[in-house]
Amino acid sequence: MILVMENKHEIQIFIDADGCPVKEETYKVAARYKIKTYVVANKYLNVPLDPLIEMKVVAGTFDAADDWIAETVTHRDIVITADILLAERCVKKKARALGPKGVEFNEDNIGSAVANRELMQNLRHMGEMRGGPSPMDQKARSQFLGKLDQIIQAQKRV
Q: With respect to residue 153, please indicate whether it lies within any of the assigned structural domains.
A: yes
Q: With respect to residue 5, please indicate whether it lies within any of the assigned structural domains.
A: no
Q: With respect to residue 2, please indicate whether it lies within any of the assigned structural domains.
A: no
Q: How many domains does the chain have?
A: 1
Domain boundaries, position 38: 12-157
Over residues 74-126, the pLDDT tens digits come to 999 999 998 989 999 999 999 999 999 999 999 787 766 666 656 666 666 67
Q: Residue range 20-34: average pLDDT?
A: 96
Of the candidates 68, 73, 70, the one whose C-alpha atom is nearest the C-alpha of residue 56 is 68
Q: With respect to residue 71, please indicate whether it lies within any of the assigned structural domains.
A: yes
Q: Residue range 128-155: average pLDDT?
A: 85
Q: With respect to residue 6, please indicate whether it lies within any of the assigned structural domains.
A: no
Q: What is the CATH number of the domain that holds 84?
A: 3.40.50
Q: With respect to residue 75, please indicate whether it lies within any of the assigned structural domains.
A: yes
Q: With respect to residue 1, please indicate whether it lies within any of the assigned structural domains.
A: no
Query: Could you give the CA distance from residue 148 to residue 150 in angstroms, rounded to a whole number?
Result: 5
